[in-house]
Protein backbone atom coordinates (compact mmCIF):
# COMPACT_ATOMS: atom_id res chain seq x y z
CA UNK A 1 0.00 0.00 0.00
CA UNK A 2 1.40 3.41 -0.99
CA UNK A 3 2.04 6.30 1.39
CA UNK A 4 -0.72 8.26 -0.33
CA UNK A 5 -3.23 5.44 0.24
CA UNK A 6 -2.42 5.17 3.94
CA UNK A 7 -2.56 8.93 4.44
CA UNK A 8 -5.90 9.07 2.63
CA UNK A 9 -7.35 6.28 4.74
CA UNK A 10 -6.36 8.07 7.93
CA UNK A 11 -7.97 11.30 6.73
CA UNK A 12 -11.17 9.51 5.74
CA UNK A 13 -11.38 7.73 9.08
CA UNK A 14 -10.52 10.83 11.11
CA UNK A 15 -13.18 13.09 9.58
CA UNK A 16 -16.31 11.48 11.07
CA UNK A 17 -14.59 10.89 14.43
CA UNK A 18 -13.49 14.52 14.81
CA UNK A 19 -16.87 15.75 13.61
CA UNK A 20 -18.75 13.69 16.19
CA UNK A 21 -16.41 14.04 19.18
CA UNK A 22 -14.29 17.13 18.57
CA UNK A 23 -10.52 17.34 18.86
CA UNK A 24 -10.23 16.69 22.59
CA UNK A 25 -12.48 13.63 22.86
CA UNK A 26 -11.39 11.95 19.64
CA UNK A 27 -8.56 9.46 20.07
CA UNK A 28 -5.78 8.47 17.72
CA UNK A 29 -6.46 4.84 18.55
CA UNK A 30 -10.08 5.04 17.38
CA UNK A 31 -9.07 6.83 14.19
CA UNK A 32 -6.38 4.28 13.39
CA UNK A 33 -8.74 1.41 14.07
CA UNK A 34 -11.16 2.90 11.57
CA UNK A 35 -8.36 3.33 9.03
CA UNK A 36 -6.98 -0.16 9.75
CA UNK A 37 -3.47 1.16 10.37
CA UNK A 38 -0.99 1.09 13.24
CA UNK A 39 -1.41 3.85 15.85
CA UNK A 40 2.07 5.10 15.00
CA UNK A 41 0.88 5.98 11.49
CA UNK A 42 -0.61 9.33 12.58
CA UNK A 43 2.75 10.57 13.84
CA UNK A 44 4.51 9.18 10.79
CA UNK A 45 2.23 10.77 8.19
CA UNK A 46 1.04 13.91 9.97
CA UNK A 47 3.43 14.62 12.83
CA UNK A 48 0.83 14.50 15.59
CA UNK A 49 -2.89 14.56 16.32
CA UNK A 50 -3.06 18.38 16.06
CA UNK A 51 -1.67 18.39 12.52
CA UNK A 52 -4.05 15.60 11.53
CA UNK A 53 -6.96 17.64 12.85
CA UNK A 54 -5.85 20.70 10.87
CA UNK A 55 -5.66 18.65 7.67
CA UNK A 56 -9.13 17.21 8.29
CA UNK A 57 -10.59 20.68 8.88
CA UNK A 58 -8.97 21.90 5.66
CA UNK A 59 -10.59 19.04 3.77
CA UNK A 60 -13.98 19.83 5.30
CA UNK A 61 -13.58 23.49 4.33
CA UNK A 62 -12.64 22.87 0.70
CA UNK A 63 -13.63 19.32 -0.32
CA UNK A 64 -13.20 20.12 -4.02
CA UNK A 65 -9.52 21.04 -3.69
CA UNK A 66 -7.19 23.94 -2.93
CA UNK A 67 -9.15 27.24 -2.87
CA UNK A 68 -6.20 29.61 -2.81
CA UNK A 69 -6.86 31.48 -6.06
CA UNK A 70 -8.21 35.02 -5.93
CA UNK A 71 -10.54 36.45 -8.55
CA UNK A 72 -9.01 38.32 -11.48
CA UNK A 73 -10.66 41.07 -13.51
CA UNK A 74 -9.79 42.92 -16.68
CA UNK A 75 -8.96 46.64 -16.35
CA UNK A 76 -12.02 48.84 -16.14
CA UNK A 77 -14.33 46.22 -14.64
CA UNK A 78 -16.98 48.10 -12.62
CA UNK A 79 -16.62 47.54 -8.87
CA UNK A 80 -20.29 46.54 -8.66
CA UNK A 81 -19.51 43.65 -11.00
CA UNK A 82 -16.51 42.74 -8.87
CA UNK A 83 -18.70 42.68 -5.78
CA UNK A 84 -21.18 40.39 -7.49
CA UNK A 85 -18.36 38.10 -8.59
CA UNK A 86 -16.91 37.97 -5.05
CA UNK A 87 -20.28 37.03 -3.62
CA UNK A 88 -20.94 34.41 -6.30
CA UNK A 89 -17.53 32.78 -5.68
CA UNK A 90 -18.18 32.85 -1.94
CA UNK A 91 -21.55 31.16 -2.37
CA UNK A 92 -20.15 28.58 -4.77
CA UNK A 93 -17.65 27.53 -2.11
CA UNK A 94 -20.20 27.56 0.71
CA UNK A 95 -22.86 25.65 -1.23
CA UNK A 96 -20.47 22.97 -2.49
CA UNK A 97 -21.87 19.54 -1.73
CA UNK A 98 -20.24 18.18 1.41
CA UNK A 99 -20.37 14.89 3.26
CA UNK A 100 -22.43 15.03 6.47
CA UNK A 101 -19.29 14.84 8.62
CA UNK A 102 -17.76 17.78 6.75
CA UNK A 103 -20.80 19.96 7.42
CA UNK A 104 -20.86 18.85 11.05
CA UNK A 105 -17.16 19.57 11.57
CA UNK A 106 -17.35 23.02 9.97
CA UNK A 107 -20.36 23.87 12.12
CA UNK A 108 -18.41 22.75 15.18
CA UNK A 109 -15.50 24.99 14.20
CA UNK A 110 -17.80 27.97 13.64
CA UNK A 111 -19.46 27.54 17.03
CA UNK A 112 -16.31 26.60 18.94
CA UNK A 113 -13.27 27.79 16.95
CA UNK A 114 -10.06 25.86 17.56
CA UNK A 115 -6.43 26.32 16.59
CA UNK A 116 -7.38 24.75 13.24
CA UNK A 117 -9.95 27.46 12.54
CA UNK A 118 -7.37 30.17 13.14
CA UNK A 119 -4.96 28.49 10.73
CA UNK A 120 -7.73 28.13 8.16
CA UNK A 121 -8.46 31.85 8.36
CA UNK A 122 -4.81 32.75 7.89
CA UNK A 123 -4.25 30.34 5.00
CA UNK A 124 -7.42 30.74 2.95
CA UNK A 125 -9.92 33.28 4.26
CA UNK A 126 -7.81 36.36 5.03
CA UNK A 127 -6.76 36.93 1.41
CA UNK A 128 -10.30 36.61 0.06
CA UNK A 129 -11.66 38.90 2.78
CA UNK A 130 -8.94 41.39 1.86
CA UNK A 131 -10.04 41.26 -1.77
CA UNK A 132 -13.64 41.94 -0.73
CA UNK A 133 -12.45 44.96 1.29
CA UNK A 134 -10.57 46.26 -1.75
CA UNK A 135 -13.71 45.98 -3.88
CA UNK A 136 -15.77 47.78 -1.24
CA UNK A 137 -13.14 50.51 -1.08
CA UNK A 138 -13.78 51.11 -4.80
CA UNK A 139 -17.53 51.29 -4.22
CA UNK A 140 -17.74 53.31 -1.00
CA UNK A 141 -16.98 57.01 -0.59
CA UNK A 142 -13.38 57.70 0.38
CA UNK A 143 -14.35 59.10 3.77
CA UNK A 144 -15.95 55.86 4.99
CA UNK A 145 -13.75 54.74 7.92
CA UNK A 146 -11.97 51.40 7.88
CA UNK A 147 -14.07 49.90 10.67
CA UNK A 148 -17.24 50.65 8.67
CA UNK A 149 -15.79 48.93 5.62
CA UNK A 150 -15.05 45.89 7.75
CA UNK A 151 -18.59 45.88 9.13
CA UNK A 152 -20.09 46.14 5.65
CA UNK A 153 -17.85 43.29 4.46
CA UNK A 154 -18.94 41.13 7.40
CA UNK A 155 -22.57 41.94 6.56
CA UNK A 156 -22.01 40.68 3.01
CA UNK A 157 -20.34 37.51 4.26
CA UNK A 158 -23.10 36.99 6.82
CA UNK A 159 -25.81 37.12 4.18
CA UNK A 160 -24.01 34.45 2.15
CA UNK A 161 -23.16 32.36 5.20
CA UNK A 162 -26.83 32.11 6.15
CA UNK A 163 -27.56 29.91 3.13
CA UNK A 164 -24.81 27.54 4.24
CA UNK A 165 -25.42 27.44 7.99
CA UNK A 166 -29.22 27.45 7.75
CA UNK A 167 -29.53 25.30 4.63
CA UNK A 168 -31.75 22.77 6.42
CA UNK A 169 -34.10 25.55 7.53
CA UNK A 170 -34.22 26.99 4.01
CA UNK A 171 -35.14 23.54 2.66
CA UNK A 172 -38.09 23.36 5.06
CA UNK A 173 -39.34 26.88 4.40
CA UNK A 174 -38.81 27.02 0.63
CA UNK A 175 -40.13 24.46 -1.83
CA UNK A 176 -37.78 22.49 -4.10
CA UNK A 177 -38.95 24.16 -7.31
CA UNK A 178 -38.38 27.65 -5.92
CA UNK A 179 -34.99 26.64 -4.51
CA UNK A 180 -33.93 25.24 -7.86
CA UNK A 181 -34.94 28.44 -9.64
CA UNK A 182 -33.94 31.17 -7.20
CA UNK A 183 -31.43 29.76 -4.70
CA UNK A 184 -28.38 28.84 -6.76
CA UNK A 185 -25.07 30.72 -6.32
CA UNK A 186 -25.81 33.00 -9.29
CA UNK A 187 -29.31 33.99 -8.16
CA UNK A 188 -28.31 34.46 -4.52
CA UNK A 189 -25.26 36.49 -5.54
CA UNK A 190 -27.52 38.82 -7.52
CA UNK A 191 -29.86 39.16 -4.55
CA UNK A 192 -27.12 39.84 -1.98
CA UNK A 193 -25.29 42.30 -4.24
CA UNK A 194 -28.51 44.15 -5.08
CA UNK A 195 -29.57 44.22 -1.43
CA UNK A 196 -26.16 45.45 -0.28
CA UNK A 197 -25.86 48.18 -2.91
CA UNK A 198 -29.43 49.33 -2.24
CA UNK A 199 -28.77 49.41 1.51
CA UNK A 200 -25.74 51.61 0.85
CA UNK A 201 -27.85 53.92 -1.29
CA UNK A 202 -25.80 53.03 -4.35
CA UNK A 203 -28.49 51.21 -6.36
CA UNK A 204 -32.28 51.38 -6.83
CA UNK A 205 -34.37 49.22 -4.50
CA UNK A 206 -35.46 45.77 -5.55
CA UNK A 207 -38.88 45.93 -7.21
CA UNK A 208 -41.95 44.26 -5.75
CA UNK A 209 -41.75 41.68 -8.51
CA UNK A 210 -38.25 40.74 -7.37
CA UNK A 211 -36.56 42.05 -10.52
CA UNK A 212 -33.60 44.39 -10.36
CA UNK A 213 -34.26 47.99 -11.31
CA UNK A 214 -31.11 49.10 -13.03
CA UNK A 215 -28.80 46.80 -11.10
CA UNK A 216 -25.46 45.88 -12.68
CA UNK A 217 -25.31 42.31 -13.89
CA UNK A 218 -22.05 40.42 -13.45
CA UNK A 219 -20.20 40.05 -16.70
CA UNK A 220 -17.10 38.26 -15.48
CA UNK A 221 -16.51 34.90 -13.88
CA UNK A 222 -13.19 36.08 -12.56
Q: What is the pLDDT of residues 72-115, one digit of tens each?
A: 999 999 999 999 999 999 998 888 877 889 989 998 998 899 99
Counting Cβ atoms within 10 Å, is residue 6 exposed (0-12), middle (13-18) or buried (19+)? middle
What is the pLDDT at residue 124? 85
Q: How far is CA 155 from the centre of its chain?
A: 14
What is the pLDDT at residue 66? 56
What is the average pLDDT across 30-50? Answer: 96
Q: Provide, rounded to the nearest whole percent, the portion of the chain with pLDDT above 90.
A: 71
CA distance 166 to 49: 31
What is the pLDDT at residue 209? 42
Amino acid sequence: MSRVDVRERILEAAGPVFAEKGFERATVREICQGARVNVAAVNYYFGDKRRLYVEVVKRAHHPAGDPNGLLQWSPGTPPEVKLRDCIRAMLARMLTERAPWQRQLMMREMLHPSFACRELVQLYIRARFGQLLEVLAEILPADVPVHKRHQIAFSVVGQALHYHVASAVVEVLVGPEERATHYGPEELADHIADFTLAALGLAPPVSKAGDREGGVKAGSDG
